[in-house]
């Protein structure tokens, strides 16, 4: 394995998870975020991801790796189109169900994931446009880095397709360390699915599209359901307080 490839994999395995966890802890410590805070988060993440993707692309070109070897190919058009549509639809349905669970489960409001969502998800039209740019960046850059570059390097180094898929999925889950154990498991599962599809189709197109659909849908739906759940929680609390006051008065 080339030294620069090993260095990039080391950054993905250790530096990125630590940086992400520290950033999330700092956000969770805030009582709330301002519009400028959220736009700054979007802008800095966009800049970092495109810079990382450009660095990876530069090093792969230097070593004579072709775009097709990294999944930058449309390959078999019908297969890729069908896979893209089916995978995107399945993830969209899953995200809708996940967002609805927030509304039906009051305890979920206190989870770190929901608290983080309240601080980073968009709240108006301008922020939604910026968020869409962020989601596009994340979908393209993360798929290129994890399913394109990392999967290729692990596969090429080990001469094993399975090692390529597992290595890519592990690195992808490490990047989501800030989501806790549950997030690690769920992102590892998604990583396995995406890596398998990338290996099967030979293209990043299906996973880029599905990644975009999954992130955009949860980013637009979750705030709505969280706010509805918060209103329901406040109403229940007010009703309970009213009932308690009536009981005290009756005594």
Tens-digit pLDDT profile for residues 37-55: 999 999 999 999 999 999 9
Among candidate residues 146, 133, 179, the one with its CA nearest the CA of residue 23: 179
Q: What is the dihedral of CA 106, 110, 111, 116, to 10 degrees?
A: 120
Residue 233 has pLDDT above 80, yes or no: no
- DSSP secondary structure, 169-211, as one string: HHHHHHTTGGGHHHHHHHHHHHHHHHHHHHHHHS-SHHHHHHH
Among candidate residues 14, 70, 28, the one with its CA nearest the CA of residue 179: 28
Q: How far is CA 195 from CA 10, 70, 167, 169, 212, in A?
A: 19, 12, 9, 7, 16
Higher pLDDT, 64 or 104: 64
> 112 with 26: CB under 8 angstroms?
no
> 52 with 186: CB under 8 angstroms?
no
DSSP assigned state of 107: G
pTM of the full structure: 0.89
The H helix count followed by the E strand count for the chain is 10, 0
Report pLDDT digits (tens) over 84-140: 999 999 999 999 998 888 777 666 666 777 888 889 999 999 999 999 999 999 999
Residues in the chain: 251
Give percent of the chain with pLDDT exceeding 90.
Answer: 72
User: Counting Cβ atoms within 10 Å, is residue 149 exposed (0-12), middle (13-18) or buried (19+)?
Assistant: buried
Average pLDDT of the chain, as a whole number: 89
Higher pLDDT, 104 or 209: 209
In sequence order, the 6+-apart residues with CB closer than 8 A to the CB of 224 are: 99
- DSSP secondary structure, 142-174, as one string: HIIIIIIIIHHHHHHHHT-HHHHHHHHHHHHHH
Name the range with the highest mean pLDDT among 20-24, 119-123, 148-152. 148-152
C-alpha 157/C-alpha 111 separation (Å) is 40
């Amino acid at each position: 394995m080339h030294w620069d490839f090993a260095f990039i994999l080391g950054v993905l395995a250790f530096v990125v998870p630590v940086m992400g966890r520290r950033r999330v802890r700092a956000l969770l410590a805030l009582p709330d975020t301002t519009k400028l805070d959220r736009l700054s988060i979007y802008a800095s993440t966009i800049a970092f991801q495109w810079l990382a993707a450009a660095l990876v692309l530069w090093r792969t070109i230097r070593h004579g790796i072709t775009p097709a070897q990294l999944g930058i190919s449309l390959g078999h058009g019908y297969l890729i189109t069908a896979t893209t549509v089916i995978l995107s639809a399945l993830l969209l349905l899953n995200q809708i169900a996940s967002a609805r669970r927030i509304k039906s489960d009051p305890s979920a409001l206190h989870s770190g994931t929901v608290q983080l969502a309240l601080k980073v998800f968009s709240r108006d039209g301008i922020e939604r446009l910026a968020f869409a740019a962020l989601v596009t960046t994340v979908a393209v850059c993360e798929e290129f880095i994890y399913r394109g570059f990392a999967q290729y390097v692990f596969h090429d180094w080990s001469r094993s397709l399975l090692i390529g898929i597992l290595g890519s999925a592990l690195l992808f889950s490490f990047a989501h360390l800030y989501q806790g154990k549950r997030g690690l498991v769920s992102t590892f599962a998604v990583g396995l699915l995406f890596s398998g599809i990338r290996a099967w189709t030979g293209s990043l197109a299906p996973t880029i599209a599905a990644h975009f659909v999954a992130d955009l849908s949860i980013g637009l739906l979750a705030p709505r359901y969280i706010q509805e759940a918060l209103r329901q929680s406040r109403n229940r609390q007010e009703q309970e307080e009213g009932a308690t006051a009536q009981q005290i008065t009756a005594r």
